[in-house]
Amino acid sequence: MSAYGTTRQPGGGPPPKDKITDYHTALFRRLAWEGTVPVEIRVDPKELPANSDRGLECYYLQAPRVTYLPLLMAEIRRFLMDVVFDEAAASSLKEEDWWFETEEGAIAKWHWPLGLIYDNHTISMSVKGPPPTPNATATPLRLILHLASPPTEKLMLSPSQEACKQAFMGQLKEADFIRWGSTKRVTGLRKLEQDGIWEGIKDHNFDDYWKVASKVTPSAAASNAPSPGSSAHTRPPSNDAPSTFDRDGAYSVRSVPVRIYLPDGPILQEVVPPLLDDGSPNTLYHFLSTHLSMLFPPRPPAPPPSRAKPNPQPPAVPQLAYAMIQGVIAPQEAEMAWLGVCMAGADGWLSICVGINRG
């Protein structure tokens, strides 16, 4: 049983001084962690060495969303060397020259988690077809493996695991700075802990990762601020929300580290406070309607009550787009602070992929 499973203490006493995550938070974190994506990898037929087995150049795997392509290279190489390439071809190929792109020609980034690559591909496809439905069968992410001439200026880093680790730690520090105004929570980790958080990613070990990540990630304690009109679906309640101000809580951070990914468009990085000026929680809908009002039109106010309609509802607004987080279409009432704690990637960033609803 995970040490991060509950905050309930015998006798109803307060939780220990070191931060322990409540049940609902741990549940959502584990669901995101255990998420996988189907991947189909096919060697570019124009680059297959002579004497390769052209009937077996395609490899399928179900990979964790939190992993990175450089961490899959050893498994892919073993398959190719054992099944596809002959001994002469295997000895001449250099793994540092390999790179991936989608069938549509988009280059797969080495420093992006695989789940983000999958979600970004999904929203790019949304401009050509209907959005995914909850019960739809997951379509494999089809990647073409090239064996030479990598576009290094677009890949940003080499495919080595060490380069990927350094990029990951850089993302973690940047997220730390956006949350707290400094990077000392990450840089204050011992080297053994910094290595351990990366080993948790490499080994896909939830407990090993969160043993360290819990020291830099805010708790999901409920906000003491009033939240008029909040829904039961906004966030699961914390079993033991503290009655006093929690300086390490999700609603105490300076900003939530957020990046917005648009179909075939730019990546937007925004400053997202957890609370609005009136003290109410900042929601996904408020954030998106403020920054992407063309896709998420602001809701007009309800008309004044009348005898015929004593409780009028605001007019409906068109659903032009949707927000996908960790492969899930997120409810617009979700609070940004809670999303930043429970649905962020292992690098600390809340990645919101915006897809288009085609009518």
Q: Select from 81, 8, 96, 24 the least CA-distant residue to 49.
A: 81
pLDDT in tens, 139-151: 899 999 999 899 9
Q: What single letter denotes the amino acid at residue 344?
A: A
Q: Are 265 and 48 in contact (CB under 8 A)?
A: no
pLDDT in tens, 151-189: 988 888 889 999 999 999 999 999 999 999 999 999 999
pLDDT level of residue 6 (50, 70, 90 thresholds): very low
pLDDT of residue 131: 62
Beta pairing partners, 283:
335
* CA contacts within 13 A on the Cβ side of 254: 11
- Token digits of residue 329: 């279409």
DSSP character at residue 351: E
This prediction's pTM: 0.84
Q: Are 147 and 93 in contact (CB under 8 A)?
A: yes
pLDDT of residue 354: 97
pLDDT of residue 57: 72
Query: Does 105 have pLDDT greater than 60?
Result: yes
Q: Are 224 and 233 in contact (CB under 8 A)?
A: no
DSSP 137-173: PPPPEEEEEE-S---HHHH-S-S-HHHHHHHHHHHHH
Q: Are 341 and 241 in contact (CB under 8 A)?
A: no
pLDDT of residue 299: 85
